[in-house]
Amino acid sequence: MADRPLRVLLDGTPLLGSRTGIGRYTAALSEELASMSEVDPRAVAFTLRGWRKLRGVLPHGARARGMPVPARLLRRAWLRSELPPVELFAGPTDVVHGTNFVLPGRLRAAGVLTIHDLAFLDEPGELAPSDRTLPELVRRGARRADVICTPTSAVADSVAERLDVSRDKIVVTPLGVNPAWFTARPPDDGQRAKLRLPEKYLLFAGAAGPRKGLDWLARTHASAPDLPPLVFAGPGPFPRLPRSGQTGYLSDVDLRTVVAGAAALVLPSRDEGFGLPVLEAMASDVPVVCTDIAALREVAGPCATLVPYDDVDGLATALRQAVLDPHATATSTARRTHAAGFTWRNCATLTVEAYRRAANR
């Protein structure tokens, strides 16, 4: 193995369809891996019909494989055994990387599993019917994996404690910021009209979900009529409020424009594994207000205003300050410098180290 690149098979299923956090992570990681001589990346999609689309979304240098079996059937099988092994469809490989919580069944390959957060353990009732077996799948995958990757030390510590695995088995691979964020510009009049953006607005960017704290944000915004309108950017459904708007899912280019034009970005989540919008806003020199939880403290550092979860008055005060004095918490230089410390190259380098550890188990 020392005289050839490490053959790595990624779960590329998150690359299909509209990409939110895990899709963007998988895309950026696969792009970096494709440019590295140490690895020979391939990707497989677990879907009955959609796997052929994988060829059109992978970066140059990464090859696509298909496992034309419904994901629900595969998950049911992998709860009980390693059958069917992914190599049966994708060919021999040195390492299989489950990028989206689930470690595929495998024959001889080493296993690396990324666990992005543990929200599914805290609120299993909020899982979609298709994800009801996820807690058991992740527990089993964590035991079977040779190495586990997490985006923050906060998640690593939780995984070790709550899934009963050795902390030494876990590698922290922080996510990165696309360089394009550092040159993002606010919308001009034409873009503002196209995206139906008010002149001044607060922004929530990301997918809607019970753990995102949107009820708290809605109550806060209603209690503070002096705050600018609120814009939700991402796949909904979002709360419908008197002074709010929704952009729906945005392209990367439009998302950067919408973020760069915001008076402040707010991420009121009760739970996060990383919180990439925090860093993307900082790269765009936009003030950030987010929840005071372990992962966001780790990612935001001293460059965001942190508010205890569900503190309506505290959140209103923080948003008000961000609008009135955008650089009260951090200067433009401090924000951009902090965000620049998180790169997808570093994420990929640390992930390759995890692959090597797994392959040499």
Confidence at residue 305, expressed as pLDDT on a 0 to 100 scale: 97
Q: 36 pLDDT exceeds 90? A: yes
Domain residue limits at 201: 179-340
Q: What does residue 257 show for φ and ψ, rounded to 5 degrees?
A: -65, -45
CA 224 to CA 267: how far, in whole Å? 17
- Per-residue pLDDT for 2 more than 60? no
How far does CA 123 lie from the centroid of its chain? 18
pLDDT tens by residue, 262-285:
999 999 999 999 999 999 999 999
Average pLDDT, the chain: 90
What's 276's domain CATH number?
A: 3.40.50.2000
The predicted structure's pLDDT at residue 224 = 96
- On whether both 160 and 199 belong to a single domain, the answer is no
pTM of the model: 0.91
| 29 pLDDT more than 60 | yes
Strand duo 110-114 + 147-150: pairing: parallel
Same-domain status, 187 and 153: no
Instruction: Say if 1 falls within a structural domain.
Output: no
Count of domains in the chain? 2
Strand partners, 113: 98, 148
